[in-house]
Amino acid sequence: MADEEGIALDLALARSDPEGFAALARHAESRDLDYVVLSEDVLSGDDEGLDPWTTAAWLAGRTEKIGLAADIDADIPAMADKARETFDLLAGARLIRHVGRQVQPVTTAGEIDRLADAVADRPKPARSAAARAQRRDGVDYDGIPASLADVAIEPGDQGYRARRATYMRGGSPGLVLRPRTPAEIADALAFARRHRHLPLGVRSAGHGVSGRSTNDGGLVIDVGALNGVEVLDEATRRVRVGPGATWKQVAAVLDEHDWAISSGDYGGVGVGGLATAGGIGLLSREHGLTIDRLRAVELVLADGTPVRASLEENQDLFWGVRGAGANLGIATAFEFEASEVHEVGWAQLALLTPDIEDALRRFGKVAAEAPRDTTVFFLTGSPRQGQSVVQLYGMVDSADPEVVVERLTPFASVGMLAQQEVVLTRYAAVMGSASDVGPTGHHGSGEPVFRSAFLPELTDDFARDAAALLRTGQIYFFQLRHMGGAIADVAPEATAFAHRTPAFSVAAMGGDRDGLNAAWDRLARHFDGLYLSFETDQRPERLRDAFPPATLARLRELKRRYDPTLLFRDNFPITLEDPS
């Protein structure tokens, strides 16, 4: 704020002459001064009945752009943050939280004119005083690469609110860089290498549960602009997709050719995160994981080098990207081989049961016997008033109604069927049901608490222990994702995603980190590994759960080669050595 000029207006004037008070603020604005300080003590001191916050909100409605500086802290920080956010929505990013008293107290328009004349020849910054006042410590804002300066977003910018949070996680990054080309990603990484003291998040669509694609005070590299979807070769069904595209967008393009790529269960998810972690989806038992359809990937490494990896070139990097890609570089493009998929059976069932243990046991048995063209996910929460609601949703890769009914009927035995919807539709229609994020972005808040595991088989013992877990009240989201089939066709050592044989992926969400960890850890004897995309616990042992010893050793070798300085260190980083 040292190069900015502002005026101080006494709140006593606002009480005695509100129109004159507002006129002085408007005159300062017309003379291109930076801000108005609302003060209780610069002039007369006494402000009986008025506070800076109320006056700032009123004055924002009487002016257009000038910054408004006031001390408006609250006893409850969350309430103060929400109030500031509301202010920004209504008046733009004009609120300056705190400002030094190196301002000129004024009572007349003439005093404002003299101050404005004295500083008339100064260079005018590109951002307003209010925006610059919200900059975070440790970020070299003046050193933003020229290629990114026009699209970089700072905390005080209008577009910041749409970029600060993700689908489930709140955040307040110090700077969001939005590269549009691989060369600009290299520039962003050069900037990140100069800021190793700050967290670094990489964001595609911002939907990831565990991904650190936002942070507090750090850097975010947002690749959302790289969102193209292009058919390269119809004969081989080869498609090229940018990391910033969503699976909803991909499915819409592929649907024109009667193709699809197994891609999770929600079309709003970004390609970048899923295509480097695994991708357990509604077509996985028939067509494999998302990474199993990957044929090549282009990345920018930590040192800014662009590379291409496939089974023919940089094979070791291609192996690692398929399961641990967030540790090895920023993907700029993926090449997939799509599958032929026509109409599918899409089912959403709601069931009630007084005995969630029995429902789990029944689901495990039915799922184990299902053909690989059928994938059904199980979702529930804590029982209420002695009843559990179970939602089953899944897909049958068949356009034959009789086959669809035959495949799904056994799942109706899991509980008492209360509601059902089974239709023949397109895979793109299922993905297309995801809501568009829109210009206001995601609005996640807080820190999600998710635990994840792979379950080799759903035994009676697991059903009992899982039912006990649900009765603790620690869990309000509990999901089983149906695995097996084509997922298990790939050898465990073929990709960095090594957990090929489990029957299910299990995930749970709660509100109390310590409580959920303690309850979840008691089930550890049933599990064999975990899926990082659904895991928020970053204790060192989680990395050993995610990657078997031989896989982790190989990944450490890749980390030493491609990211020896651990630039990519905020999303379950592969350490160079075993911390234990």
Does residue 125 lie within any of the structural domains?
A: yes
pTM given for the model: 0.88
Is residue 55 scored above 90 in pLDDT? no
Torsion of CA 203, 204, 206, 208, to 10 degrees: -90
Burial class (CB in 10 A: 0-12, 13-18, 19+), 147: middle
Mean pLDDT score of the chain: 91
* Three-state SS at 342: coil
- Give the mean model confidence (pLDDT) for residues 167-186: 96
What are the tens digits of pLDDT across the range 541-576? 999 999 999 999 999 999 999 999 999 998 889 999
Sign of the CA dihedral running 224, 229, 232, 237? positive
Q: What pLDDT does residue 78 have? A: 67
Q: What pLDDT does residue 44 have? A: 41
pLDDT above 90 covers a percentage of the chain that reads: 71
- Give the mean model confidence (pLDDT) for residues 36-61: 69
- Give the mean model confidence (pLDDT) for residues 409-425: 97
Q: Side-chain half-sphere of 530: how many Cα atoms within 13 Å?
A: 27
Q: How confident is the model at residue 519 (pLDDT cuts 50, 70, 90)?
A: very high
Strand partners, 127: none
- Give the mean model confidence (pLDDT) for residues 373-381: 98
Does residue 166 lie within any of the structural domains?
A: no
- The domain in which residue 375 lies consists of 343-541
Q: Which residue has the tokens 């006056």?
A: 55
* Three-state SS at 314: coil
Among 283, 244, 241, smallest CA distance to 263 is for: 283
Q: What pLDDT does residue 77 have? A: 65
- Give the mean model confidence (pLDDT) for residues 468-478: 93
DSSP of 239-254: EEE-TT-BHHHHHHHH
Is residue 46 scored above 70 in pLDDT? no
Is residue 296 scored above 80 in pLDDT? yes
In whole angstroms, what is the distance from residue 61 CA to residue 65 CA?
Answer: 10
Query: What is the DSSP-derived secondary structure letter of residue 153?
Result: B
For the chain, the first-to-last Cα distance in angstroms comes to 47
| Residues in CB range of 199: below 8 A, 6 or more apart | 212, 215, 216, 217, 218, 219, 570
Q: What pLDDT does residue 92 have? A: 76
Q: Which residue has the tokens 């001064």?
A: 33
Among 244, 161, 248, 241, smallest CA distance to 206 is for: 244
Does residue 10 lie within any of the structural domains?
A: yes
Among 242, 239, 228, smallest CA distance to 261 is for: 239
Q: What pLDDT does residue 43 have? A: 38
- Cα 287 to Cα 187, 247, 284, 340: the distances in Å are 37, 16, 5, 10
Radius of gyration of the chain (CA): 28
Does residue 580 lie within any of the structural domains?
A: no
Is residue 156 scored above 90 in pLDDT? no
DSSP of 78-93: HHHHHHHHHHHHHH-S
Bridge-based pairing of strands 343-353 and 388-396 is: antiparallel
Q: What pLDDT does residue 202 have? A: 96
Where among 103, 131, 159 does a domain terminate? 131
In whole angstroms, what is the distance from residue 46 CA to residue 49 CA?
Answer: 9
Does residue 421 lie within any of the structural domains?
A: yes
Where residue 385 falls (left for φ over 0; alpha for ψ -120 to 50; beta otherwise) is left
CATH code where residue 509 lies? 3.40.462.20
Is residue 45 scored above 50 in pLDDT? no
Q: Under a CB-based contact definition with an 8 Å cutoff, are residues 220 and 175 in contact?
A: yes
Where among 131, 161, 180 does a domain terminate? 131
Higher pLDDT among residues 92 and 515, named by residue: 515
Where among 72, 96, 131 does a domain terminate? 131
Higher pLDDT among residues 412 and 5, named by residue: 412
Please count the structural domains in the chain.
Answer: 2
DSSP of 156-221: TSTTSHHHH--SS---B-SEEE---SHHHHHHHHHHHHTTTTS-EEEESSS--SS-----BSSEEE
Does residue 473 lie within any of the structural domains?
A: yes
Does residue 136 lie within any of the structural domains?
A: no
What are the tens digits of pLDDT across the range 272-281? 999 999 999 9
- Reading the block at residue 401, the tokens are 């109604």
Q: How confident is the model at residue 267 (pLDDT cuts 50, 70, 90)?
A: very high
Does residue 163 lie within any of the structural domains?
A: no
